[in-house]
């Protein structure tokens, strides 16, 4: 009788199977190098039929499967355990764009397509695929959907969940659900695709998706605004939405400490103003009309805010080059933190109206408990998503400080719950927050999740140890 590995090789061929311990390592380590697994093999199918065959073989032998895309996740959801018994199912070879239907404003793409490739294909068709995040040059759409990725344009276009019309999914039985429908209206029962989006590979393997496209913007305006506090940033957001409506595409908050880290570690960046301020907002407007309309709109709005002393200063980009330079100040924050040393990261969401109060209260609680801590506060203010990270006090070694992670997480996450928020806004739970979520979800909610998992995956082979 053939072994499982021999059976899988017969399905995917030698090009689709990796068993060498050295070659397996990149697939067995998460992006942050926090988790290191030891899979029995890495399987790289080239088609949905091959995925289905591999899943059937694993189901028959009750072998656990860890679905994986670009392996850029931040919570260990795509990393196998160290048992040596799990199969990593990497979908990177499934990278075809099956169709671009410009009239229907849809694109059908396989799970292994890199996000930047999809953005480019949409642009070539005169359309926009708006999902945008720092890892877009290497993350893959299957992973984006499995974690319900957010990014910088959620304010206008929504999370990944809202950008999907249909899915193709290989179920834990090896059956293929063909739900690739490009319909905006389909009121024929349960919306099954939403079960798999955000499920982090625990209910099935997303192999392809029908994605929404939008008109391609023909003009943009990008500005950096200096403010006294997050409360002033919220007031500016309210004003910008009233003045600019749906043209407001991005609204990002970052503190001066964030800016200091970027300027320190990226010498080709420059401060946007001659002097420094406590907080900044990076905002972007876009329009399908060409010309200077959006720039005039944002300039008018900011001039009025300056006259009323609601903001401290503002700079509107005068060229695409300057706009990209402004965006670097926001996009390089995470990498600048990595250069600075270990820190305690949080990806949380708070009702937008409560963000300033959450920051104030949590800053105070952390300072009382751990004197001198430095908060690296930034995120997508327009949709309520904060990356509220905590760095060591001056003079304290970062590797020593991170031993306080459980205590600091408790302060932050308890405050998130107190303000009606979520401890994971866009990164998912994976294995990092699997146990932590037990404290914040109701027993009924967790039980419903377990029942769904049991119904779809009765053998428990799909990404065990993640989410639940």
- CATH number (domain holding residue 56): 3.30.43.10
pLDDT digits (tens, 9 = 90+) for 71-81: 999 999 999 99
Q: What is the pLDDT of residue 276?
A: 97
pTM, full prediction: 0.94
Handedness of CA 249, 255, 261, 263 (dihedral sign): positive
Q: How far apart are CA 40 and CA 65, in angstroms?
A: 10
Q: How far apart, in whole angstroms, are the C-alpha atoms of residue 390 and residue 96?
A: 41
Q: What is the pLDDT of residues 325-364, one digit of tens each?
A: 999 999 999 999 989 989 999 999 999 999 999 999 999 9
Domain boundary among 157, 185, 215: 215
Distance CA 419, CA 182 (A): 38
What element of type H or E holds 416? Answer: helix 405-418
Task: Determine, yes or no, domain membership for 439.
Answer: no
β-pairing verdict for 97-101 and 176-179: unpaired
Query: Are 84 and 105 in the same domain?
Result: no
DSSP 217: P
CATH code of the domain covering residue 117: 3.30.465.10
Please check whether residues 65 and 104 belong to one and the same domain. Answer: no
Cβ atoms 228, 146 nearer than 8 A:
no
Choose one of 170, 191, 215: the last residue of a domain. Answer: 215
Residue 438: inside a domain, yes or no?
no
Residue 458 lies in a domain: no
Instruction: Quote the CA–CA distance of 458 and 193 in Å, as a whole number.
Output: 19
β-pairing, 279-287 with 248-255? antiparallel
Tokens of 185: 């209206």
Helix (H, G, I), strand (E, B), or coil: what is residue 62? coil
Are residue 234 and residue 293 in the same domain, yes or no?
yes
Same domain for 392 and 348:
yes
Which helix (DSSP H) or strand (DSSP E) does residue 252 occupy? strand 248-255
**Is residue 120 a contact partner of residue 109, using CB atoms and an 8 Å limit?**
no
Q: In this structure, are 50 and 124 located in the same domain?
A: no
Pairing of strands 106-110, 127-128: unpaired
In a domain, 258, yes or no: yes
- The range of the structural domain enclosing residue 355 comes to 341-429
Q: Is residue 424 part of a domain?
A: yes
Q: Say yes or no: 257 and 189 in one domain.
A: no
Asked if residue 8 and residue 70 are part of one domain, the reply reads yes
Q: Give the CATH number for residue 395.
A: 3.30.70.2740
Tokens read off for 37: 């697994």
Task: Please answer whether residues 59 and 173 qualify as being in contact, where contact means their C-beta atoms are separated by less than 8 angstroms.
Answer: yes
Looking at the fold, whether 317 and 355 belong to one and the same domain comes out as no
The encoded tokens of residue 181 equal: 């429908």
User: 90, 113, 134 — which closes off a domain?
Assistant: 90
CB count within 10 Å of CB 397 equals: 10
- Asked whether residue 140 is assigned to any structural domain, the reply reads yes
Low-confidence ranges of the chain (pLDDT < 50): 1
CATH of the domain at 224: 3.30.70.2190
Residue 463: the pLDDT is 98
Do 67 and 160 share a domain, yes or no? no
Same domain, 326 and 235: yes
- Residue 287: name the closest of 217, 360, 206, 203 by CA: 217
Would you say residue 108 lies in a domain?
Answer: yes
- What is the tally of structural domains in the chain? 4
Q: Is residue 105 part of a domain?
A: yes
Tracing tokens 């021999």 back to the chain, one arrives at 6
Q: Which two tokens stand for residue 439?
A: 């404290």
């Amino acid at each position: 009788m053939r072994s499982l590995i021999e059976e899988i090789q017969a399905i995917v061929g030698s090009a689709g199977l990796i068993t060498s311990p050295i070659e397996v390592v990149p697939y067995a380590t998460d992006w942050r190098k926090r988790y290191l697994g030891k899979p029995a093999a890495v399987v790289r199918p080239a088609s949905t039929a091959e995925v289905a065959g591999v899943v059937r073989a694993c189901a028959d032998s009750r072998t656990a499967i860890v679905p994986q895309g670009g392996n850029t996740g931040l919570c260990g959801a795509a990393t196998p355990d160290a048992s040596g018994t799990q199969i990593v199912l990497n979908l990177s070879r499934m990278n075809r764009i099956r169709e671009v239907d410009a009239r229907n404003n849809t694109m059908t793409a396989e799970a292994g397509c890199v996000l930047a490739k999809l953005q480019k294909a949409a642009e070539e068709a005169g359309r926009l695929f708006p999902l945008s995040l720092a890892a877009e040059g290497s993350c893959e759409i299957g992973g984006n959907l499995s974690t319900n990725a957010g990014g910088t344009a959620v304010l206008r276009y929504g999370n990944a969940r809202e950008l999907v019309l249909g899915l193709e999914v290989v179920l834990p039985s090896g059956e293929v659900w063909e739900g690739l429908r490009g319909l905006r209206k389909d009121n024929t029962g349960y919306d099954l695709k939403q079960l798999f989006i955000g499920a982090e590979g625990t209910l099935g393997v997303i192999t392809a998706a029908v994605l929404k496209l939008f008109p391609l913007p023909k003009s943009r305006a990008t500005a950096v605004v200096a403010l006294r506090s997050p409360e002033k940033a919220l007031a500016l957001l309210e004003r910008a939405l009233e003045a600019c409506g749906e043209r407001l595409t991005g609204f990002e908050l970052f503190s001066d400490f964030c800016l200091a880290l970027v300027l320190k570690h990226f010498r080709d960046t420059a401060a946007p103003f001659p002097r420094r301020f406590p907080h900044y907002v990076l905002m972007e407007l876009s329009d399908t009309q060409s010309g200077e309309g959006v720039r005039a709109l944002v300039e008018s709005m900011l001039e009025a805010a300056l006259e009323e002393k609601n903001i401290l200063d503002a700079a509107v980009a005068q060229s695409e080059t300057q706009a990209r330079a402004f965006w670097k100040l926001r996009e390089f924050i995470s990498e600048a933190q990595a250069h600075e040393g270990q820190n305690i990261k949080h990806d949380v969401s708070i009702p937008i109206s409560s963000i300033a109060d959450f920051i104030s209260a949590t800053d105070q609680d952390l300072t009382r408990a751990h004197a001198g801590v430095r908060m690296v506060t930034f995120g997508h203010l327009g949709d309520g998503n904060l990356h509220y990270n905590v760095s060591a006090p001056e003079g304290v070694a970062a590797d020593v400080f991170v031993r306080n992670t459980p205590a600091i997480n408790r302060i932050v996450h308890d405050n998130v719950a107190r303000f009606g928020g979520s401890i994971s806004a866009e990164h998912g739970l994976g294995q990092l927050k699997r146990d932590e979520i037990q404290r914040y979800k109701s027993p009924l909610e967790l039980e419903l999740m377990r029942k769904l998992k049991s119904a779809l995956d009765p053998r428990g082979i799909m990404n065990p140890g993640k989410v639940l």
